[in-house]
Chain A
């Protein structure tokens, strides 16, 4: 049984990775699961300088999901390389560094800094966080700007470059093509969907940022549809994500066209969710007598 997959040059022992922003810097989860078992860890989105994020009032639970407006709080690339990477290097798994900037120049600088670090195996470019302000959002919603910023980051790194797409667009296929034209080796599909919730007694928004990103099983059918559409539009591998709670959910994404899957909000519900999803994928593979998981990718019959 082969579970290994290749994500734009990044060799994973199995297709289960953790989603950025839901797994801290990875090391926090070592007490809950054997990090050596999972395909890759995608760390919390990193910026050149530490970021404070949004004021309190950052999460709110909704039916089968949750809204968050953390605002990309992070310790910064230097602290990550100095304090977290040495610990992460002890594990036999791949490290995907998620990063973002406020300008094209910052994206380039961040990509270069992370590429020079020992122990980062791939970069995931966040152009799609819904919790940042208007100018920034354009990188993830305007195909011309997407291509421009990806092209610039592409030149700054030799590592596999994964671009994480925003679902808050009219055509995910256009965005996928733009990222690939800019030089993306793979795509992560999808980031959270913009949403909001209001306290009807106080008439105030539940989140200080007013809007936030919706995640969890509530968004899974949308994510599956977007993976399906993106996979039809481009030939690079896709990491599918959006509300995966079980191995069955993961298989659904793979059948829609994902070569790997990322576990996000489920990590909050069960810190060991990623290994449980992996075990359940293995059960499915065995039960269906599949020799190589790659043969399942895009295997939807329609």
Chain B
């Protein structure tokens, strides 16, 4: 014990720092750092670390900044294109069917072609099932906004899925979601979960981490469980889309309806003749212009003979209607002409209408026809109804119109069916009155026909009624029918009236009706019922083809309307061209002179009238559009074309004569109020010397009359010079601004940035160097306020400068305000208010993002300008200038598509019409940077044919691979390098730079492995590129003479045949020269 004590006494106990308690805490707080007296002075204590964090933050900020894509979205966007892709048997159709059922309550039988539904208050969706071949995949990848990748979960991923993902990547990656199906085949939950996870992670590596993956349970009634489908629908409705570059610069139409409108006789005579085809669809991408060339994928480049806007077949509900509620069944519409909805079956060469049960036809007739129909339709049409019933869908049954009770109408229709003599026979019997109004014509019609007309009218009315009933039922016959009801709003009376009118014309309308039914030429039952309505559409001026399918009717109507319109046009023109015509007559002599009295006064009146009407310059330049405001650009083009022909007849070397005498009339009077009239007249005058002389043709410089220029010599208060005084800074600013700027801005307002710097110069004094005169601002009344001018000059200058500075500050303020919001500009407001805002803004402004904000501002301004500029112009004029905006439903008529397009048309294969920009047609050598896909099994060889997909097109070409040597030489490569990019040159259609390209060795389904052979981007276009190949000329002597020898086997192709005075080494001896290179097979 004592030892221990002594020990403690000897060895001094070391100090134990307390590990807990107040003191320890205090120390902990300090963290062992040296306390600094002035922490602010050392705010950056760790320079390296701070630099790193700052750099990192900057980098991150930088990464966030992307060049903003211009958003070209319109108010009513086109339906979202949802492509459902998956290998065969993975459940694509089931998925689409389930979604359609969810949205519209309709049971889809097939899912061919684009199916458009209204999915929400402000979203429509077009579903398209991706066919099972590579071409379809490539085409659809170019137009998909969102892709639902259907994967058979029980089987795992298949090659198609990855191929498709790769295709998507090349053509601008749209949104992708994955749907795992057939998960009910797992009986082990653990295995299911593991598989799901595995598939998900694999999918994520392909797309991005967190990409949406849905799982689907088993089928119930051929559909997926409701909750899971609803989940997908939720995401479909929420997804936002980012503009893709190619589609942001090119218009395109995914065709959802197609009609062959070739004259049947032509096809009969030559089955391979070019077909006239009308296709329908929503415009997507940018504006589709009527004169644009388009590429029909798979068919080639074509000019559009006609583009016309149609009524939206599947419109969004109006905003007010659905403001506070969800859509009802009637509003959630369905439009899918290619998908055999309802009772229409599309066959290769015809459409069969399943009329289900016949309401009108007598039993005895029906039996006969049924047999015939079955024979013709191959059971396709009539069988479908039964199938539908088998499906257990009770809703559908109502579609046939079971509770039909319009006995009168059915009686009338039966009478119609009983008509035994054809209309043309009746025509022969009837009288025709050529002149007189329609009433007169009506009198001339025979009694029999009059009764027929009445019957037709009644029938039409009945049809209308029946339809109204259908709509009221809310059954699905249809939601797609509802869309047509929009058109119908004009009312039954109107249509019945029209039908009676048509009947009274004694034309063959009725005949057309029945004949077309016989032909079964591409009309639905619904359309059939609504025949009168349809005819009206065709008859309305310019509204060519509101669902028009009847050729016969179309011809008649076109003729009639055409004649009518021409007549009207002539009348319109007459006031302008009259004078000219009359002059001609006068020269011939021998015409009554009565009309000549007071011609001058009348002309003067008309001139004034026209002047007040604001001569339409556009008409003068582009020719008169005519067609009562309903015209479209293509039509107009045809008009001008015909004008040219007219011009040819008159003056052989005249070119592009303007129709309509308005300009000529103005020429005669030589008025110069409007630039257009003036220019026109001179154009006409100058025709001759333009053709021959040197001085006349093709010069942009414009010379006024020499005589007119003498006016400038005048003096006095009302001389010419005084008249333009206010266009100079020395003039009166207020009126000067008024005279100059219609925008009201002018320089005097001081609200535009550009002007103000210059203003300051204006205010300053200067010396006229040539005369030595001095000018002070006091000498000119240069501001609105004239008060300062009275003071002495120096003083005035002082105040001016001050004022200048103030104005400048205000201008800056208003400029900044403009960046914040446009409403300020309109407000104008007082100066004080502006100043306050400046102060508020002034603090916010940071130099860093000044540039970015400036750019944003500019873009926004531009977009407002885009929106506002043509707003007041009326639809037809807007369509002509801007083209058809996205979201419009259009009908495109092609004059000559190859017959194969029609004969091989399959609704399940997508038809895409892609617009080509200027200079994108034609062929060129294309230089691309490309890389063989690493999953593709084989290396690629130069000059082996590849199928390239670029832009809208797919084409086969022979690529040449090359690599760049350090001396910028493009060296030929026989094979693609491994794991490296190389240059790939090929001859093909023009592709803009930076467009993604990809290539396949074969598009067939038989190929094994990964079919994508090559991916890359287009770099450059040219007529020719230089790729060089190093040649080793090795040959064997064949015949040897004294100083010459024939060498064998030196060249391996024509291309290599090369002669030049390069020294060839000949087994150690000195140089020799190739004299005649030649390659023999």
Partners in one complex: no
